[in-house]
Structure 1
Amino acid sequence: MQSLKVLIAESDPLLQKLYSDVIINDSSFTLLKCVSNGGELFDAMKCVDVDLVLLDLFLKDFDAMADLDELRKSYSRTDYIVVSSGENPELVRKALCIGVFEFLVKPFSFDRLRAALKNYQIYHHSLTGRTRPWQQEDLDALLAMKSHDPSWSANRSIPKGLQLKCLNDVETFLKEHDATFSAQEVGESLGLSRSTARRYLEFLTMSERVVVEYAYRRVGRPEKRYRMALL
């Protein structure tokens, strides 16, 4: 999988260094550059193809209310994780309305930053690497990653409505059986409903822990069957 290209836009040299260390130590990402003000940010965006910007809204020489619109208009395929103060409610609302991937309020833990980056890596790969038609449950799981829900687990990155124990139970079941299973079969084995089992299976699929195979029938839609990915 190709690494995602990251630009850090932060005025504080110490924070630049700390964010850089997190990016450099994650093989899923490549750090392109660090910039310290709005002019440098726009100049860098013109010169390099950027997947993700870690953006402080209070960057020097950066008018967030106006410049966020300009960034989204000019670089529509670039995503943003805001790393900023939450002291201005209108600015927070503005950032969320233009569709930033996540908003991390300073000060935040580096585990929280790593979780945000992992969520983005899963989201980006799921959105751009897909070769088959989307199903509703696939889109539900993908959009949940952009819900900005504070209940997401920092270490497993699970969205609201999923329980870590059930997620582990589903994953353990698949690991212990070298075969493919339908959502109905997984649910019956673990005492879950078919729809509940499917939600966990789809999340594991989005997380690249599980892969889907299709069993074609004489009539009707093909059956989705799940197995552990070869990691």
Structure 2
Amino acid sequence: MIQVLIIEDDLRIAQINRRFVEKVEGYEVVGIATDEQQARDHLEIFKPHLVLLDLYFPDMKGLDLLRDIQKNDPLTDVIIITAAKEIDAVREAIRGGVYDFMIKPVVFDRFETKLKSYQKYRQKMRQLEDANKQVDQEEVDQLLWGTNEKGYKDSYLPKGIDKLTMEKIASVIHRSAEELTAEELGKRVGVSRSTSRRYLEYFVAKGELIADISYGTVGRPERVYRSTRREE
């Protein structure tokens, strides 16, 4: 379970955030702090995995607390939830190492998306730590930008590669029992042969396809592709 501490001076909003958190599987709220002393006590006692932090309090600045969290509890991550919209506050929060930033009022759908993204980040980080290995560029991209449910990066794709087309093509190639040519795949997906070939070569580069040459019985040899992971 991912343990969450809510630091918010408006108790009504804090309780709404608690209910939002508890709707997302894999999370639990370990405490609510509404002032500086409570916040510092709860941080010391609970050592939460994640803090949901407002920026404005009558007795402290949320950004000051953020800096203290990064200094004293480097394994605790922070998501800012605030009405502050000033670019300076946003910039300083990002520089301070926040995982994410949400502007009030926050609807549940966005809240859930952010928490699920953080959940995937923690899982990926734990996998890399358990493997005790050096990371490659794609793994760093996944940690920084996240992945969608199919494992493809949402925030970075090479030029000429569209996410929706990529997922449609991936669905076809990973379910196909036979080898496919660019022309055959293009007909199934509804794209041109050249477009199909571009995506096929992209998947080859990612290691999800193997390319080979089929000489057939007539005509020129053709480049054919087969999946390295078959899906039912």
TM-score with structure 2 setting the length: 0.68
Supply the AA of the counterpart residue of 1:120.
Y
Q: Of the candidates 175, 199, 205, which is equivalent to residue 193 of structure 1?
A: 199
- After superposition, give the CA deviation of every residue in 1:78-124 in whole Å (9 maximum; x if it has no partner): 11110002333322211110110111111232211111111111111
Uncovered stretches (5+) of structure 1, i.e. residues with no partner: 147-151, 203-211, 213-223
Q: CA RMSD in A?
A: 3.7
Corresponding residue for 1:91? Answer: 89
Larger Rg: 1 or 2? 2
The 1-side partners of 2:175 and 2:140 are apart by 28
For residues 8-56 of structure 1, the C-alpha deviation after alignment (integer angstroms, 9 at most, x for no partner) is: 1112222112211121122221211111112111100101121111111
Paired residue total? 194
Identify the match of residue 159 of structure 1 among 155, 158, 162: 155
Residue 218 of structure 1 is matched in structure 2 by none
The C-alpha deviation readout for 1:174-218, integer Å capped at 9, x for no partner, is 663589x9xxx99x957243574479x79xxxxxxxxx9xxxxxx
Question: So what's the TM-score if we normalise by structure 1?
Answer: 0.69
Residue pair 1:9, 1:59 contacting (<8 A) in 2 also: no
Q: How far apart, CA to CA, are the structure 1 residues paired with 2:173 and 2:166?
A: 11
- Which residue matches 2:37? 39
Amino acid at match of 1:169: K
Gaps of 5+ in 2: 187-195, 209-226
Q: CA deviation at 1:4?
A: 1.0
The match for 1:66 is 64
1:119–1:157: 8 Å Cα contact kept in structure 2?
no
How many angstroms does 1:75 deviate by? 0.6
2:47–2:73 Cα contact (<8 Å) kept: no
| Seq. identity, % | 21
1:74-89 alignment runs, 5 A limit: 74-89=72-87
Q: Distance in 2 between matches of 1:100 and 1:195?
A: 37
**What amino acid maps onto 2:16 in structure 1?**
L
Q: What is the correspondence of 1:113-128 to structure 2 with a 5 Å cutoff? A: 113-128=111-126
1:23 to 21, 24, 28: 21
Q: By how many angstroms is 1:133 displaced?
A: 4.0
3-state SS of the aligned residue for 1:82?
strand
Matched, 1:145 2:146: yes
Rounded to whole Å, the distance in 2 between the matches of 1:56 and 1:226 is 45
